[in-house]
């Protein structure tokens, strides 16, 4: 199944390995390290002029990517639940 995460980006649900509320983790060493690493490797996708609410981490073909979106993590989680067959 597919999930729309904003900014005209649609991800495959099975590729998503984490959805994080940026406001809750912004000042942690883990968040800073992940953002720095993804930025350095040019694997962080974000729209420059939008509010940063959610970090979504994906893995596809053993490649990790990050997406920052203005959509709330709660909304992303709801979309993920609505696309599953559970």
φ, ψ of residue 11 to 5 degrees: the values are -115, 155
Enter the pTM of the model: 0.89
pLDDT tens per residue, range 31-48 = 999 999 999 999 999 987
pLDDT tens per residue, range 1-15 = 899 998 889 999 999
User: 42 exposed, middle or buried (CB, 10 Å; 0-12, 13-18, 19+)?
Assistant: exposed
Q: pLDDT averaged over the chain?
A: 92
Residue pair 42/52 in contact (Cβ under 8 Å)? The answer is no
Is the model's pLDDT at 86 over the cut of 70? Answer: no
Band of residue 19 on the pLDDT scale cut at 50, 70, 90: very high
Exposed e or buried b for every residue in 59-83, given b needs 16+ CB within 10 A?
eeeeeebbbbbebbbeebeebbeee
């Amino acid at each position: 199944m597919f999930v729309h995460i904003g900014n005209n980006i649609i991800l495959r649900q099975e590729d998503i390995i984490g959805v994080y509320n940026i406001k809750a983790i912004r000042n942690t060493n883990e968040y800073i390290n992940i953002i720095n690493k993804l930025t350095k490797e040019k694997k962080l996708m974000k729209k420059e002029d939008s509010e940063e609410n959610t970090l979504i981490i994906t893995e596809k073909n053993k490649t990790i990517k990050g997406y920052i979106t203005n959509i709330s993590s709660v909304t992303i989680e709801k979309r993920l639940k609505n696309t599953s067959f559970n």
